[in-house]
Amino acid sequence: MMEIDENDLKKGPWTPEEDQKLIDYIQKHGHGSWRALPKLAGLNRCGKSCRLRWTNYLRPDIKRGKFSEEEEHIIINLHAVLGNKWSAIASHLPGRTDNEIKNFWNTHLKKKLLQMGIDPVTHRPRTDLDLLSNLPQLLAAANLANPWVDNVLRLQSDATQLAKIQVLNNIIQVLSSAPAPNMEAINHFRSSSILPDQHQLYEYLQMNSKLEGLLVNGSIGFPSTHDQMQSKLSNYEANFQLPQLSGDHQPAQNIINGLKNYTSSNSDCVDQVANSSYSIPPSNVLPNLVSASPDQCSSIVSQIENQINSNDIISNDPSSISTTFEPLGDIMENEASDSYWKDFIEQASSQSWPMS
DNA sequence: AATGCCGCCAACCGCGAAGCT
DNA sequence: GAGCTTCGCGGTTGGCGGCAT
């Protein structure tokens, strides 16, 4: 425990006597040179150890005890902007030291954010999926010819519908992660006249995690039946109470309505595929598929793939969302019976998203 | 009661920046 | 400008206490 280093300087925990010596000396003389201080104060410690003891523990203006909820919010929000700049964060919290904040972050806040589904490093919703980068595989999945399924041809068209739903599922994930607070967004708020308070920003972070949780918490990240899909959407709708940061939530509502309508009108398809021996793999582990589809299905899929490749829409950059929807809209236009699909894509792409 | 595990947090360590000669 | 010293920061360590077995 207690240790003496090679220069006979004491290390380890400070005794009350040592604390008192340090306090007395600094109150009388100020700390001056930390290197010279221990000798002058009669302490058998190195200057660095004295400085740390003073700045992290003995300073009279130190606030001890539990962090308040407001302090928590401030730390989280500042961390989103500043990263691990503990001293910079501490400067916004009178009475708190960088060491204390760092410890609090590592032992409490980090876990809390993870539990909320927020990546404590990026402050964006955690996602194990590579979102739109799965799109080509996903769409290829519509071109099904699963050797384990007897009624391959019927399932092929069903799977096409299902793939679309999963595309929408991914779109929601992209949208829900798009407005995650980042440097730019927070700076925007700072300079704007609609500066939100810390609580609003915090609620906003929580909202992101709710969205993500609803979408990815399922065992395979996708509702397996029509009923589950509808139930998920209802939950999503019920939870969709974004803080009023910068306007309406119409895009999100459109998406929810769109998915509800779409899954309603295709409930047979969703249930059939889900209940068949064809199982929907996790969206990030799509199977290798053999092309053997009816003309219509095959043609749609290849068009989608071509469009995706030619428009280079695979991106994790949230700012690319609006352009992402444009080629999809064009593609869907070719399927006359799915005019709603196109409307939905257009609606989603034409509306701006809060904070984006 | 003894033991092991785990979370918390004070303290240490290493490194880079700033200041001084 | 180079070399040395001092300071401050962020990452890591290790002791302590609480809890489970």
pLDDT digits (tens, 9 = 90+) for A275-322: 332 222 222 222 222 222 333 333 333 343 343 333 333 333 333 333
**A57 CA – B14 C1', rounded, Å:** 22
CATH code of the domain containing A49: 1.10.10
pLDDT at A204: 41
Return chain A residues 12..51 having CB < 7 Å to nucleic acid strand C: 12-13, 32-36, 47-48, 51
> Residue length, chain A?
356
Please say whether the beta carbons of A81 and A48 come within 8 A: no
CB neighbour list of residue A217: distance below 8 Å, 6 or more residues apart: none
Cα gap A99→A343, rounded to integer Å: 53
Closest CA to A64 of A109, A94, A21, A108: A94
Cα gap A295→A303, rounded to integer Å: 12
Q: Give the lowest-confidence range in A63-72, A238-247, A271-280.
A: A271-280
pLDDT at A266: 42
Q: Between these two residues, A99 and A165, which has the higher pLDDT value?
A: A99
Residue A124 lies in a domain: yes
* Both structure tokens of A290: 């053999």
Per-residue flag: A100 CB under 7 A of strand B: yes
Provide, for chain A, the percentages of residues in helix, strand and coil under a 3-state DSSP scheme, each rounded to the nearest 5: 60, 0, 35
* Both structure tokens of A264: 């309603």
CATH code of the domain containing A109: 1.10.10.60
Cα gap A98→A93, rounded to integer Å: 9
Residue A143 lies in a domain: no
Neighbour tally for A163: CB within 10 Å: 26
* Both structure tokens of A121: 């490093």
pLDDT at A5: 52
Q: What is the mean pLDDT of chain A?
A: 53
For A166-205, the pLDDT digits (tens) are 334 433 343 344 333 333 333 433 333 333 344 444 444 4
**A38 CA – C14 C1', rounded, Å:** 24
Residue A339 lies in a domain: no
Please check the confidence at residue A210 and state whether its pLDDT lies above 80: no
**Residue ending a domain, choose from A102, A128, A154:** A128
Residue A324 lies in a domain: no
Per-residue flag: A1 CB under 7 A of strand C: yes
Domain tally for chain A? 2
Name the pTM for this structure.
0.46
pLDDT at A216: 32
Which whole number is the average pLDDT over A105-126?
82
Range of the domain at A124: 69-128
Phi and psi (nearest 5°) for A186? -70, -40
Return chain A residues 142..181 having CB < 7 Å to nucleic acid strand C: none
* Both structure tokens of A8: 């006979």
